[in-house]
Amino acid sequence: MILHELISFELLRVIWWGLLGVLLIGFALTDGFDMGTGALLPFVAKTDTERRVVINTVGPVWEGNQVWFILGGGAIFAAWPPLYAVSFSGFYMAMFIVLCAFIVRPVAFKYRSKRPSPTWRSTWDWALFAGGAVPALIFGVAVGNVLRGVPFHLTPSLMPIYEGSFFGLLNPFALLTGVVSLSMLIMHGAAWLNLKTEGRIQSRARRYGFTAGVVAIIGYAVAGAWLLLITDGYSFVDAAVTDGPSNPLMSDVVKGGSWLAAYGARPWIMIAPIMGFVGMLMALRGLTSGGEATTMLWSKMGILGVISSVGLTMFPFILPSSTDPDSSLTVWDASSSHLTLFVMLVATVIFMPLILMYTSWVYSVLWGKVTEDDVTANGETLY
């Protein structure tokens, strides 16, 4: 038996669907509080020293956190080539804006303290705000469009043709999911500042984080009702071929019904939205009661539940087509080859634990609060 045949093609596809979710959730749990902290910066910190405190809570870790985004993009490219081709071309302008924000953010971290001018520093503070708020909003808008279906079709030679526009992405449902994403990550950033700061910054972070959390919970509930009552789901006409060739045009897909029918077919997935609501509610409780580490953990659970609920609800669809349902990309027909997925899995098994161990070590070394005394006493070494 050839080595890669030890794991079936069907199972490898499911594993890589799960690993893609792990990478995206890992990005949201780590770089998510970076983005939320950036979005909160102009509001929770009123003086230059306070803003330096806020920046230095994420300054040592944001680069490592952003690696999850790169890993996620790489996984899409290698494991799901059609998904990469359609999403990165159809969402080109949105991705370009996200990349601009991600380019501005490191420049702001490095340049902000190079000059004492208040105007200079204020400009870079707002750049950090944009670098956090804009991606958080756009990622949510992208998820909303995926749930609605993306206007593309595949030619007989499997070349994707995108038929939409940038402004078409800004539909009401997608803007709602964008608000959920932004407010959820602001709450996450507030939980981080609640853990890493003290005094006035901590108090303001709790107040803004509570408001953002309320918006996230209400928005998440409204989005669920919208999916139930308004937005059509997708399903296979016949039983899907789970170990066949990666050719979406060989599947017969119909648009109609509700995405939430998945909870009737697989009741166990209800755990995801329950985790989302409970995690966010308990994070709000922590922000009001003064809990620190537990509040951060509850916030992480809420984000885990919200993102997982999207993937589990849509499974096995990963990018449905609103204009030609038969072109929809699914777990069963949009992956790389059996051998490619196996080789990637071996590399992941080797290197993922190393990444997790290194990340854990970094956070253990940097554990503790950042105070105003820290940034004033170490002016030349901190941001």
For residue 381, what pLDDT is reported?
A: 58
At position 140, the amino acid (one-letter code) is G
Is 383 a member of any domain? no
Q: What is the pLDDT of residues 113-161, one digit of tens each?
A: 888 899 999 999 999 999 999 999 999 999 999 999 999 999 999 888 9
Specify the residue for token string 């990637």. Answer: 344
Is 197 a member of any domain? yes
Give the total number of structural domains in the chain: 1
Give the pLDDT band of residue 206 (cuts 50, 70, 90): very high
Q: What is the pLDDT of residues 212-245, one digit of tens each?
A: 999 999 999 999 999 999 888 999 998 888 888 8
Is 84 a member of any domain? yes
- Backbone φ, ψ for residue 319 (5° rounding): -155, 90
Is 353 a member of any domain? yes
Q: What is the mean pLDDT of residues 333-361?
A: 91
CA nearest 352: which of 62, 16, 31, 106?
Answer: 16
Is 316 a member of any domain? yes
For residue 367, what pLDDT is reported?
A: 87
Is the per-residue pLDDT at 3 higher than 70?
no
For residue 372, what pLDDT is reported?
A: 85
Is 227 a member of any domain? yes
Specify the residue for token string 């670098």. Answer: 131
Q: Which domain holds residue 145?
A: 3-377
Where residue 328 falls (left for φ over 0; alpha for ψ -120 to 50; beta otherwise) is beta
Q: What is the pLDDT of residues 180-198, one digit of tens each?
A: 999 999 999 999 999 999 9
DSSP string, 184-228: HHHHHHHHHHHHH--HHHHHHHHHHHHHHHHHHHHHHHHHHHHHH
At position 208, the amino acid (one-letter code) is Y
Q: What is the pLDDT of residues 33-88, one digit of tens each?
A: 999 999 999 999 999 999 999 999 998 888 888 888 888 888 999 999 999 999 88
CA distance readout (Å), 133 to 42, 48, 126, 344: 12, 21, 10, 33
Q: What is the mean pLDDT of residues 306-315?
A: 96
For residue 5, what pLDDT is reported?
A: 73
Question: Burial level of 351, CB count in 10 A (0-12/13-18/19+)?
Answer: exposed
Is 382 a member of any domain? no
Please, are residues 53 and 370 in contact by the beta-carbon 8 Å criterion? yes
Is the per-residue pLDDT at 301 higher than 60?
yes
Q: CA neighbours within 13 Å on the CB side: how many for 312?
A: 20
Is 23 a member of any domain? yes
Helix axes 9-44, 62-79, angle to 10 degrees: 150
